[in-house]
Amino acid sequence: MTDVRIAAPVHEAHLGTRRLGVPALVFMIIAASAPLTVVAGGVTSNFAVTSVLGVPLSFLVLGAVLIVFSVGYSAMSQHIHNAGAFYAYVARGLGKPAGVGSAWVALVSYNSMQVGIYGLFGYALASLLQSLTGADLPWWGCALAGWVVVGLLGITKVDLSARVLGILVALEFVVVTVYDLIAVGAAPEGVSLQSFEPGSLFTTGVGAVLSFSIAAFMGFESGAIYNEEVKDPRHTARRATTIAIVVIALFYAVSAWAMTVGEGPSAVVARSAEQGPGLVFAFLGTYLPVWAVDIANVLFVTSLFAALVAFHNVVARYFFSMAREGVLPGRLARTNPRTQAPVAGSVAQSALALVVLVVFAVAGSGSELGPLYPVLTLFTWLTNMGAFGLVLLMAVTSVAVVGYFRRHRTWYGVWTRTVAPVIGAVCLTIVFALIVANFTVLIGAQGDTVLGWLLPAIVVVPGVVGVLWAWRLRSADPAVYAGIGRGGTLDDDTSALGVVPAERH
């Protein structure tokens, strides 16, 4: 009975239900993308590193790929309501060992994205406070201040986090839209669509461009993770995911294009390399009063904060999902009795983040990189690790969708069950290969370096360990093994939605 009791909290543990609607979920998804951060930091870095003008077109290309991926992914979300989305989908489509391996990759990847952002957040907040007050604060002190607030929000009701993120994301959109309008109006070389021409993208460096741009979408898949907490499990996550992909792709494409117009197609690469993230704020400073630019800088910091909260919530739910099924210690499935937030998972994520922050703070003391140390190390290394792992998971999940619907009779047509997932798997595998080929470029390294293989290994090796752990559970703890990927129940919940399982696992 002891083994069964480890998995038993599973049947009782649950998250707060029926709180999130489509608008709230869209804001939470987009918050993970951090719009202002992507435009000010991601787009300028892309231009600077790759010297390719077709960055705007890359967002449209990747948006199309992810829309195709979301066809099968969203179909799965209607039938499998599990806070560990990738984990559950792969387990149900490719088998339990693959599911546990994917869960470990997801945990490492999402934690990497979340903790890595603290590097840029700490630097940006310290720089902002110095410019406004003259105070010279260490980056790690500012990062820890954000860490405290993120942790507190993580143990509250999910709809409170959604409201906070909704306000911050809306303000980010306002700032970037103002920038876009001013940039297009300035147009020193005229309004040109050159950056949308295929020849501007599909040239030397296209692999690096796509590798940079895919990171801007990371977090879009998190909608399915909240399927136990949405008002309509059949439609909310699917609609929110589609809306978020379309909004992200179009908004970033237009904003990147506006940057080429505002700086001039012939100058945008050089100016991005020269000014980096400061390019957007320097541009706004020539057209807007100082107070408006200060507000934009404040929103740059809150953009990063919104991403921290969004990814923190995702990690907490992965801990909850795995612990609820006994794959992790059952205590990590504990929820707040009042708010139903995954409090143990939230605390675990905060603890991991604290350890990494302390390590980098100590290691960076006296670094020759100076103030940029947390940006060039913690932020750059870990967020690219996260993107590496998440793209791999999306490719694997596409294959899992095919496997799942082959074993379950549904009303879906061949496009949803097979064609779209296969296309998505092929395209995402290509993007993943490009990330691998350009990984040293993405982390700012030169030539062959230990980091070029060590950082990807940190993501992949836990996946292998997870597969071995699942195999051990199959013989050592059959009760836990039987519940893997099923949200704490051995019943197939898809029958309620018209899906008839062809066979039991």
Q: Which DSSP category does 112 fall into? A: H
Q: Do residues 195 and 53 touch, judged by C-beta distance below 8 A? A: yes
pLDDT of residue 504: 37
Q: Do residues 159 and 139 touch, judged by C-beta distance below 8 A? A: no
Backbone angles phi, psi at 500, to 5 degrees: -105, 115
- Inter-axis angle of helices 290-324 and 96-133, nearest 10: 150
Q: 375-408 pLDDT, tens per residue?
A: 889 998 999 999 999 999 999 999 999 999 988 7
- Give, in order, the Cα–Cα distances in Å from 163 to each of 43, 180, 488: 27, 26, 29
Q: Which domains are seen in the chain, by residue range?
A: 2-488 (1.20.1740.10)
CB contact burial 271-300 (16+ within 10 A = b; e otherwise)? bbeebbbebbbebbeeebeeeebbbbbbbb
Q: Which residue has the tokens 């992909």?
A: 245
Q: Do residues 181 and 174 touch, judged by C-beta distance below 8 A? A: no
CB atoms under 10 Å from CB of 95, counted, come to: 18
Cite the DSSP H helix spans in 420-449. Answer: 420-437, 439-442
Nearest Cα to 212, choosing from 443, 430, 449, 35?
443
pLDDT of residue 19: 61
- Give, in order, the Cα–Cα distances in Å from 18 to each of 75, 97, 229: 19, 31, 5
Q: Do residues 81 and 227 touch, judged by C-beta distance below 8 A? A: yes
The span from the CA of 95 to the CA of 407, in Å, is: 12
Both tokens of residue 422?
Answer: 């296969």
Q: Do residues 462 and 104 touch, judged by C-beta distance below 8 A? A: yes
Residues of the chain under the 50 pLDDT cut: 1-12, 16, 488-505
The span from the CA of 323 to the CA of 332, in Å, is: 5
Q: Which residue has the tokens 């630019």?
A: 293
Record the pTM. 0.86
pLDDT of residue 4: 35
